[in-house]
Amino acid sequence: MAYEKDIKERTKKYAIEIIKLSREFKKYKVDFALVDQFLRSGTSIGANVREAKASSTRKELIRFYEIALRSANETEYWIEIIEEGYELKIEKMIYMKAELVEISKVLGKIILNLKN
């Protein structure tokens, strides 16, 4: 499945962008606790995709992809909280939200295919 290979690279690039955006939040005085949660959830998407590749069973493989999808959902939450709570209109956040939607769709498709 080509999209499984793509999601590995895509989530890695996303994690790097999460790190960069987290640094940018410091300029806007976003509380450390929120930035930390955003950083953790956003980078764990790719980490769980990588973990999935080392799974020894199909059940374990599905579980790691599901965890990655939950991390994506959590990241979306933190983006919304930071954006609305601090009334930020950062161009990069628009891209990050859009990319997160696409990553979530791919993860969902992978999970469904693995379950069928």
Quick one: what percent of the chain has pLDDT higher than 70?
Answer: 96
CA 74 from chain centre, in angstroms, equals: 8
pTM, 2 dp: 0.92
Domain boundaries, the chain: 2-115
pLDDT at 4: 63
Q: Which pLDDT score, from 0 to 100, does residue 3 have?
A: 60
- What is the CATH code of the structural domain delimited by 2-115? 1.20.1440.60
- When computed from its CA atoms, the radius of gyration of the chain, rounded to whole angstroms, is 15
Q: How confident is the model at residue 5 (pLDDT cuts 50, 70, 90)?
A: low
Q: Which residues of 30-53 are buried (b: 16+ CB within 10 A; e: fewer)?
A: beeebbebbbbbbbbbbbbbebbe
For the segment 22-32, the average pLDDT, to the nearest whole number, is 95
pLDDT in tens, 6-18: 999 999 999 999 9
